[in-house]
């Protein structure tokens, strides 16, 4: 009897990303703390120890509600667009789309997802960075929804989209590197005939997507390196209190701190990339396997 294949529901990508975010949030928090330093005073380990000493271990999960809100806007949108369109294209053809179409679809999905997720991303940055500020300067958002409401009320709706250009640009790189490369890697692994569509295949394909294609094992690291200046500018714009007039002004002010200022938080960002990507796709495939929509194979 032929087995029934399953396809993901449109919201599975958001749920899978939330699961991964719960595991990798401390690294994301350290990245934000390092990026918002005016001068390079601490490295990753020193920053982690300072956070734990001053506010306790649970402080490493400050802003988790905003991080989950971000995944349910940014990641849910990019996964929903990518997988819905890909499945539609696949259903109308004899096989999966070629890699260049996956890259194009990943670029469009990432750009839209980055823009949609900007408000939650901004609140996420602010909540994670709040503990670094003097008590009289802290924003003290109770949770993500409180942060979104207060920004809209106190600073205007336009402020919710500070850093949207950088977030959308970064979303393009990340989505192509993750979704498009994962799809292609999974297709190649299955085509060898050595592995079936199971958790081992999902792990291998997600590992390839995080680390880069086999001929270019440093691609994942290069993608992180190329995206880091965008991420730093995005974080600074989102955390600002009106000191920047725009993206260009933020870039100029950051450059005054030296070229390495654009690479603050590179280590935790690079370390976070691998487990976050692997966990996201492992969770996604398990959701698809157990709760996906049945399609006769």
- Distance between CA atoms of 120 and 14, rounded to whole angstroms? 13
- Domain locations along the chain: 4-62+71-116+166-296
Residue 195: what pLDDT?
A: 87
Tell me which range, 20-34, 40-54, 75-89, is most confidently predicted by mean pLDDT: 75-89
What does the pLDDT read at residue 296?
67
Over range 2-8, report the average pLDDT.
70
Model confidence band, residue 223 (pLDDT cutoffs 50, 70, 90): low
The answer on pLDDT for 92 being more than 80 is no
Q: Specify the higher pLDDT residue, 272 or 1.
A: 272
Instruction: Tell which wins on pLDDT, 280 or 241.
Output: 280
Q: What is the mean pLDDT of residues 45-67?
A: 88
Separation CA 193–CA 64 (nearest Å): 41
User: With 60 as the cut, is the pLDDT of residue 3 above it?
Assistant: no
Specify the CATH number for 4-62+71-116+166-296; select among 1.50.40, 1.10.3470, 1.10.10, 3.30.420: 1.50.40
Residue 293 has pLDDT above 60, yes or no: yes
Span 212-224, mean pLDDT?
44
> Is residue 225's pLDDT more than 70?
no
pLDDT band at residue 1, thresholds of 50, 70 and 90? very low
pLDDT at 213 over 60: no
pLDDT band at 273 (very low <50, low <70, confident <90, very high): confident
Q: What is the pLDDT of residue 255?
A: 85
In this predicted structure, what is the pLDDT of residue 214? 37
Nearest CA to 68 out of 16, 7, 126 is that of 16
Query: Where residue 149 falls among pLDDT bands split at 50, 70, 90?
Result: very high
How large a percentage of the chain has pLDDT more than 70? 89
| Secondary structure of the chain as H, E, C letters | CCCEEEECCCCHHHHHHHHHHHHHHHHHHHHHHHHCCCCCCCCHHHHHHHHHHHHCHHHHHCCHHHHHHHHHHHHHHHHHHHHHHHHHHHHCCCCCCCHHHHHHHHHHHHHHHHHHCHHHHHHHHHHHHHHHCCHHHCCCCCCHHHHHHHHHHHHCHHHHHCCHHHHHHHHHHHHHHHHHHHHHHHHHHHHCCCCCCCHHHHHHHHHHHHHCCCCCCCHHHHHHHHHHHHHHHHHHHHHCCCCCCCHHHHHHHHHCCCHHHHHCCHHHHHHHHHHHHHHHHHHHHHHHHHHCEEEEC
Mean pLDDT of 125-143: 87
What is the overall mean pLDDT for the chain? 85
Specify the range with the lowest mean pLDDT, choosing from 102-106, 124-128, 203-207, 270-274. 270-274
d(CA 171, CA 231): 10
**Res. 132 pLDDT band, cuts 50 70 90:** confident
pLDDT at 220 over 50: no
User: At 215, is the pLDDT very low, low, confident or very high (cuts 50, 70, 90)?
Assistant: very low
Q: What is the spatial distance between Cα 81 and Cα 68, in angstroms, rounded to a whole number?
A: 19
C-alpha dihedral (138, 248, 268, 82), degrees to nearest 10:
110
The gap from C-alpha 60 to its chain's centroid, in whole angstroms, comes to 18
Is the per-residue pLDDT at 237 higher than 70? Answer: yes
Higher pLDDT, 89 or 110: 110
- Tell me the average pLDDT across 155-160: 92
């Amino acid at each position: 009897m032929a087995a029934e294949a399953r396809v993901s529901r449109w919201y599975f990508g958001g749920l899978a990303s939330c699961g991964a975010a719960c595991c990798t949030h401390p690294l994301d928090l350290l990245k934000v703390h390092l990026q918002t330093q005016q001068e390079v005073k601490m490295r990753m380990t020193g920053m982690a120890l300072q956070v734990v000493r001053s506010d306790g271990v649970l402080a490493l999960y400050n802003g988790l509600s905003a991080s989950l809100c971000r995944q349910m806007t940014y990641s849910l949108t990019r996964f929903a667009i990518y997988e819905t369109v890909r499945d539609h294209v696949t259903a109308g053809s004899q096989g999966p789309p070629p890699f260049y179409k996956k890259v194009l679809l990943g670029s469009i999905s990432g750009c839209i997802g980055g823009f949609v997720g900007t408000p939650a991303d901004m609140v996420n940055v602010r909540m994670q960075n709040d503990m670094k500020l003097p008590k009289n300067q802290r924003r003290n958002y109770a949770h993500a929804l409180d942060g979104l409401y207060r920004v809209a009320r106190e600073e205007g709706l336009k402020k919710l989209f500070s850093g949207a250009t950088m977030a959308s640009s970064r979303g393009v790189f990340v989505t192509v590197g993750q979704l498009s490369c994962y799809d292609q890697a999974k297709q190649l692994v299955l085509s060898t005939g050595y592995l079936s569509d199971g958790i081992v295949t999902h792990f291998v394909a997600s590992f390839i997507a995080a680390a880069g294609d086999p001929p270019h094992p440093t691609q994942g690291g290069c993608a992180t390196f190329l995206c880091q200046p965008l991420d730093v500018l995005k974080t600074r714009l989102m955390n600002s209190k009106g000191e920047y007039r725009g993206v260009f002004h933020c870039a100029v002010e950051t450059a005054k701190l030296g070229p390495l200022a654009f690479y603050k938080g590179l280590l935790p960002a690079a370390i976070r990339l691998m487990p976050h990507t692997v966990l996201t796709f492992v969770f996604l495939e398990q959701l698809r396997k157990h709760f996906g929509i049945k399609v006769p194979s």
